[in-house]
């Protein structure tokens, strides 16, 4: 190792995998070459609730090229039905409309799809529960929220404090069903070999997919090898939901001589791979005459699925954002006969901060205080919930420096005060936050050779975020060498233990393991080889229990018990609302973020920019509409479910503070994958209010809400 310390971290390196992607040679799941594949097309239930009484598969079976028609009557039995979403084709029961009830395997994908359309199914329909009751009698308290958060928290006598407050706000906000919709369709290729089953699939975590799928089929985990070197987006829809992969494995068990290929259609993606559940959120705020918050109550209500509970942590950001002495958060769900919801980028924080940051804007106005000043006045000095100090919390600086860059000083505080050529113009602000996680139990192997090169192996995933590049940078930095000397291997469950690309925790957790492996390598080289790599090389695998216990200038974890760790940001929006038509345009967004040390500014900017773009999409466009008669989402394609496109987006500026977090992880970074979408929708809604004087509390903000 050279004496000159190379600082690979912080360099805006181009994507290492970029040329392969541009040339079309980077292999995504469905591209993986296998010998003589057969193609699978699913059959989906066309009723919402009930049971199958008869299948007629004769026409499908008679179609030339059809190899098998799978139904619950002939499909292989699974070993475990503990995950009802994965234990498909095991009975005649229908849990939601669109559930997989069969599949056709054929010599081509076209024949499989056509033959699937020939399968006749008879049902006995049963009454289903597809919409939440307005009287709330179907609500219950979930045991735990996503990511392990406590369902309810309470501090002080919230109702009494609210009642006594000089200024009070009581408002209800709603957000709709939203979908992940990554560009790569969820796909799977399942093939047998001597060691067991190899599955190529689009996943955010090769070992998460392995851990979830292997027990369903009664395999030891290592007998199901999951390979996923390149993934076209994730956003949460490839963490836990693998019904498509389970169907491919069932088909491979049924027809073991042929590798099975399956790619969902875009429409199937609206049913099979989860979604953000809609939310109804009541926020109550109390403040004293000087604009100091005395009480915050955030009570959320969301649907979940009867087949599998998922409870979003929608109120958790309200536990830490402001210094109100009395606080309450509650989460209630109702179980519907619908497909299971799941985490979607910024689960909890994204919808929750739309409500909270809209309410804070309303409260600032009610108190007659500038919304930035109001936030600063209510900035907590420690985490209000745990009383722990924050590792770092530069929210105030983000608000102030962002305001300066955006031109907030020129803002006339009076709503509906600026009109240009028929457009009402307004600007708004909101805060962002997302937890900073370091997931324990990650490990990396480093193989050093005397030519000064290193192979770095870890079962990480690159879902388009740039992990191929940022992990190479972290390795080069830890090994004090050039990035060209690093050869990274990721995306294979046979590699050393790694958490998935989820919770914005990938880079932190994998990077910490790589740094620990580099430390262990250096230690062995120094103690056994006089600091020189032996001629036949040296391989070291880091202890997954020691990943946080690294050497170096940063103390790193285990500081979880001593500090509250979160990323923060301030987002600013300029909107134009047409005075006659209500059309909303967003010419300008600016985000200023507190994300610790930036590993790769080019990739990091992309992450935050993408998040903000999606936040704009959440504010103005995205809206899954459920059919109350059958429980399915009717606008299940890109024609009817609009996602912000280039024409919807104006200028988006992304900035961050040049600050490290001394406690978050060995790199000093914070997760950035989800932070960018948190707060954008509130900044836009607050700007819409400033432009028009109309408070829109229901997303998306459509023009009908703005016509008086």
Task: Kindly list the residues in this chain that would bind ligand MOS in the complex (CB under 6 A).
Answer: 204, 234, 236, 239, 343-345, 347, 502-503
Which DSSP letter does residue 378 get? T
Give yes or no for a contact between 199 and 189, defined as CB atoms under 8 angstroms apart.
yes
Collapsing DSSP to helix, strand or coil, 424 comes out as: strand
Burial 632-659 (b: 16+ CB within 10 A, else e): bbebbeeeebeebeeebbeebbbbbbeb
Q: Supply the angle between the helices 680-692 and 349-367 in degrees, to the nearest 10.
A: 30
291 Rama class: left (phi>0) / alpha (psi -120 to 50) / beta: left
What angle is formed at CA 295 by the lines to CA 290 and CA 298, rounded to 5 degrees? 135
DSSP reduced 3-state for 246: helix
Strand segments (E) across 185-267: 187-193, 196-201, 224-227, 260-263
Residues in Cβ contact with 192 at an 8 Å cutoff, skipping those fewer than 6 apart:
198, 252, 256, 259
167 contact partners, CB below 8 Å, separation of at least 6: 286, 287, 288, 289, 291, 363, 366, 367
- Burial class for 451, CB neighbours closer than 10 Å (0-12, 13-18, 19+): exposed
44 is known as an active-site residue: no
What does the buried/exposed string (b/e) look like for 68-93 if buried means 16 or more CB atoms within 10 Å of the residue's CB? bbbbbeebeebeeeebbbbbbbeebb
Angle (CA) 290 292 293, round 5°: 140
Q: Are 537 and 447 in contact (CB under 8 A)?
A: yes
Instruction: Please provide the DSSP assignment of 302-348 as one string.
Output: EEEESSS-----TTGGGGTSS--SEEEEEEEEEEESSPPP---SSTT
Q: Give CA–CA dist 460/489, Å, rounded.
A: 8
Q: Are 280 and 300 within 8 A, CB to CB?
A: yes
The answer to whether 620 and 687 are in contact (CB under 8 A) is: no
* Total residues belonging to the chain: 708
Q: Report the C-alpha gap between 612 and 386 in whole angstroms.
A: 30
- Residue among 24, 686, 692 nearest 355 (CA): 686
Distance of alpha carbon 345 from alpha carbon 237, whole angstroms: 9
- CA 363 – CA 109 distance, rounded (Å): 56
Question: CA dihedral in degrees (9, 13, 16, 21; nearest 10)?
Answer: 140
Instruction: Please give the structure tokens belonging to residue 468.
Output: 């191929």
Say if residues 669 and 661 touch (Cβ distance below 8 Å): yes
> Between residues 57 and 313, which has the closer beta carbon with respect to ligand MOS?
313
Is there a contact between 27 and 230 (Cβ–Cβ < 8 Å)?
yes
**Alpha carbon distance 251, 256 (integer Å):** 8
Q: How far is the CB of 180 from ligand MOS (least distance, A)?
A: 8
Out of 178, 516, 622, 674, pick the active-site residue: 674
Angstrom distance (rounded) from CA 640 to CA 422: 29
Q: From CA 557, how far away is CA 139, in angstroms rounded?
A: 39
Catalytic residues, which ones?
Answer: 674
């Amino acid at each position: 190792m050279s004496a000159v310390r190379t600082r690979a971290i912080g360099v805006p390196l181009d994507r290492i995998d970029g040329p392969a992607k541009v040339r079309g040679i980077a292999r995504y799941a469905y591209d993986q070459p296998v010998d003589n594949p057969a193609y699978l097309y699913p059959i989906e239930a066309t009723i919402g609730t009930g049971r199958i009484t008869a299948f007629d598969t004769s026409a499908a079976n008679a179609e030339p090229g059809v190899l098998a028609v799978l139904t619950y009557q002939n499909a292989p039995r699974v070993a475990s039905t503990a995950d009802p979403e994965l234990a498909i084709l095991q009975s005649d029961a229908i849990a939601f409309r669109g559930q997989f009830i069969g599949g056709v395997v054929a010599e081509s994908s076209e024949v499989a799809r056509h033959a699937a359309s020939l399968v006749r199914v008879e049902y006995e329909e049963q009454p289903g529960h597809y919409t939440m009751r307005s009287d709330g009698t179907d609500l219950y308290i979930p045991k735990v929220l996503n990511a392990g958060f406590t369902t309810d928290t309470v501090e002080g006598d919230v109702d009494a404090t609210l009642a006594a407050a000089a200024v009070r706000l009581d408002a209800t906000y709603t957000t709709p069903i939203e979908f992940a919709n990554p560009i790569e369709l969820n796909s799977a290729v399942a093939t047998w070999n001597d060691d067991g089953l190899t599955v190529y699939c689009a996943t955010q975590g090769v070992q998460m997919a392995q851990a979830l799928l292997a027990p369903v089929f009664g395999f030891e985990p290592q007998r199901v090898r999951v390979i996923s070197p390149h993934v076209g987006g994730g956003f949460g829809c490839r963490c836990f939901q693998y019904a498509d992969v389970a169907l491919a494995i069932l088909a491979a068990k049924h027809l073991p001589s042929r590798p099975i290929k399956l790619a969902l259609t875009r429409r199937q993606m609206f049913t099979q791979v989860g979604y953000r559940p809609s939310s109804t959120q009541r926020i109550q705020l109390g403040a004293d005459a000087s604009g100091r918050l005395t009480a915050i109550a955030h009570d959320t209500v969301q649907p979940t699925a009867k087949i599998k509970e998922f409870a979003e942590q929608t109120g958790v950001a309200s536990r830490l954002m402001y210094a109100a002495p009395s606080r309450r958060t509650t989460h209630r769900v109702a179980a519907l006969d619908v497909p299971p919801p799941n985490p979607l980028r910024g689960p909890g924080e994204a919808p929750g901060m739309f409500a909270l940051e809209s309410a804070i804007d309303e409260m600032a106005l009610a108190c007659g205080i500038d919304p930035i000043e109001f936030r600063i006045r209510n900035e907590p000095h420690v985490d209000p919930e745990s009383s722990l100090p924050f590792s770092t919390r530069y929210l105030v600086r983000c608000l102030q420096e962002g305001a300066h860059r955006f031109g907030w000083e020129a803002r006339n505080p009076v709503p509906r005060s600026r009109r240009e050529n028929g457009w009402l113009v307004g600007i708004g602000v909101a805060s962002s936050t997302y937890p900073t996680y370091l997931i324990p139990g990650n490990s990396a192997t480093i193989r050093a050779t005397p030519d000064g090169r290193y192979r770095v192996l870890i079962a990480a995933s690159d879902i388009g975020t740039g992990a191929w590049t940022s992990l190479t940078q972290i390795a080069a930095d830890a090994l004090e060498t050039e990035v060209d000397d690093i050869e990274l291997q990721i995306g294979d469950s046979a590699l050393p233990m790694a958490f998935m690309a989820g919770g914005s925790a990938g880079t932190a957790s994998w990077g910490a393991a790589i740094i620990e492996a580099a430390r262990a390598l250096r230690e062995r080289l120094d103690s056994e080889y006089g600091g020189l790599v032996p001629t036949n090389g040296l391989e070291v695998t880091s202890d997954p229990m020691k990943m946080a216990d690294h050497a170096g200038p940063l103390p790193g974890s285990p500081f979880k018990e001593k500090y509250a760790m979160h990323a923060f940001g301030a987002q600013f929006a300029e909107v134009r609302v047409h005075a006659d038509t209500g059309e909303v345009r967003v010419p300008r967004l600016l985000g200023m973020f507190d994300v610790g040390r930036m590993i790769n500014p080019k990739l990091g900017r992309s992450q935050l920019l993408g998040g903000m773009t999606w936040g704009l999409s959440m504010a103005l466009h995205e809206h899954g509409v459920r059919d109350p008669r059958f429980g399915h989402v009717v606008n299940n394609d890109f024609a009817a479910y609009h996602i912000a496109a280039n024409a919807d987006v104006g200028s988006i500026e992304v900035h961050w503070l040049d600050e490290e977090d001394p406690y978050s992880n060995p790199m000093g970074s914070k997760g950035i994958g989800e932070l960018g979408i948190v707060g954008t929708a509130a900044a836009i809604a607050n700007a819409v209010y400033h432009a028009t004087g109309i408070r829109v509390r229901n997303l998306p903000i459509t023009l009908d809400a703005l016509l008086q």
